[in-house]
Amino acid sequence: MAQGRGSAMAATVLLCVLLLNFELAQAAIYTVGGTGGWTFNTVGWTKGKRFKAGDILVFNYNPSIHNVVAVNRAGYSSCSTPRGAKVYQSGKDRIKLAKGQNFFICNFPGHCQAGMKIAATAA
């Protein structure tokens, strides 16, 4: 009886691993701004792209002069950082898109106003 339970547990673990790999295999990875990376005038970078929930956005930038802040629509529109917003500052951030609208800005002074912001809608 114990052997049967162990086999069922192993099968369950294997199924979970396979499902996780399938989900990751389905996610697309996008480098924000292309070869130029996360910089000024990236506001139009999302045009023509079809994102899905779980896709990964990679933000490459110099962390001494830029950052990435996940904001809400109001923060995106006004180029302001809402209280409690997640701030990324590694220079090589990988952010998984949630279903619906996702907004990101650089909150260094003047950067968002210079087009360093994107809005990505994930199906």
**For residue 107, what is the DSSP state?**
-
- Closest by alpha carbon to 68, among 96, 46, 51, 91? 91
Q: What is the pLDDT of residues 101-117, one digit of tens each?
A: 999 999 999 999 999 99
Burial of 30 (0-12, 13-18, 19+ CB in 10 A): middle
Between vectors from CA 115 to CA 119 and to CA 83, what angle results, nearest 5°?
60
Q: Comparing 9-13, 24-28, 47-51, which segment has the lowest mean pLDDT?
A: 9-13
pLDDT of 6 reads 59
Q: Is the pLDDT of residue 22 over 80?
A: no
68-79 in b/e form (b: 16+ CB < 10 A) is bbbbeeebbeeb
- Chain segment 28-45, per-residue pLDDT in tens: 999 999 999 999 999 999
pTM exceeds 0.85: no
